Structure 1
Amino acid sequence: MSIDFALDPVTHDLLFENDSLQIVTDEDQLAQNLKIRLQFFLGEWFLNTGVGVPFYSEILVKNPNVANIDAIIKAQILDTVGVSQLLEYNSSFSNALRSYSINFTVRTIYGEQQIELSLFDTTI
């Protein structure tokens, strides 16, 4: 059984309900882990600067290559412990809005899971 502290989906802070720290398990923990991995900047963690998505060098650049971004994100998804297969992947990129969102379905040790995520938007 996988277990982790639950994070608020909006603020990414620890989630408390009725003054009690919440936890996530199994498929919810795996979905949360996927979202964390996909929002983790390369070099962000001082103990292993090789972990993360290369946002600064490959994604948050002038005239980004969407096919390259998709390949980077897909590799991160497939490299996640518990994920065995990427079944469906759709991305939406808007240069005018400076937004990139993904919707994907993966086969995991818990079955199929569908995940939606906005990696960045005009607030960045």
Structure 2
Amino acid sequence: MTVRKLDADGDLALGAQEFLSGYSAEEVAQNVRTRLKFFLGEWFLDTTDGTDWFGGVLGKGSVLSSRESVIRRRILLTPGCAGMTAFSVTTDIATRELTVSATIVSQSGDSAEIQYVQAVI
């Protein structure tokens, strides 16, 4: 699997190191962040794909265990992800943000830390 590398701002990286390949931890971590950003039903060719942010995670009265389950499943089903060694979901009422932190292990055996912040509407 080969993907285009993204820079710190989420834009395509240009130059000599513009591709990631071989299920490295960096590649899998980038794919996890991309999959978390992808909302359920967002892609018209497959409306069953995406993270169920509105129905399963951010909805009023959603239970923490079900939130974590949705997010954990999304991470673990990312191609190249062999597992996780750390996982947490925190919410900040003041900033209205939900933060996902995880340490993933890629199929190549190396690990990477991921942090993803989703604004709560």
TM-score (norm 1): 0.79
Per-residue CA deviations over 1:59-81 (Å, capped at 9, x if unaligned) read 23334432221111101111112
Q: Which ranges in structure 1 are unaligned for 5 or more consecutive residues? A: none
CA RMSD of the aligned region, Å?
2.2
Higher RCO structure (Cα 8 Å, ≥6 apart): 2
Quote the residue 1:73 is aligned against.
71
Quote the residue 2:60 is aligned against.
62
Shift in CA distance, 36/75, structure 1 to aligned 2, threshold 3 Å: same
Q: Give the count of matched residue pairs.
A: 119
Is 1:25 equivalent to 2:21 in the alignment?
yes
Give the % identical residues.
Answer: 26
Q: Is the 8 A contact 2:51 2:74 kept in 1?
A: yes
Paired with 1:58 and 1:9, the residues of 2 have a C-alpha distance of: 28
Q: CA deviation at 1:96?
A: 2.8
Q: CA deviation at 1:82?
A: 1.5
TM-score (norm 2): 0.81
Quote the residue 2:13 is aligned against.
15
Paired with 1:9 and 1:50, the residues of 2 have a C-alpha distance of: 29
1:92-111 → structure 2 map (5 Å cutoff)? 92-111=90-109
**Greater alpha carbon shift after TM alignment, 103-112 vs 66-75:** 103-112
Per-residue CA deviations over 1:83-110 (Å, capped at 9, x if unaligned) read 2222221222112321111221222211
Q: CA deviation at 1:54?
A: 0.7
Q: Which ranges in structure 2 are unaligned for 5 or more consecutive residues? A: none
Per-residue CA deviations over 1:29-78 (Å, capped at 9, x if unaligned) read 21111111111100111111111101122223334432221111101111
1:40-55 → structure 2 map (5 Å cutoff)? 40-55=38-53
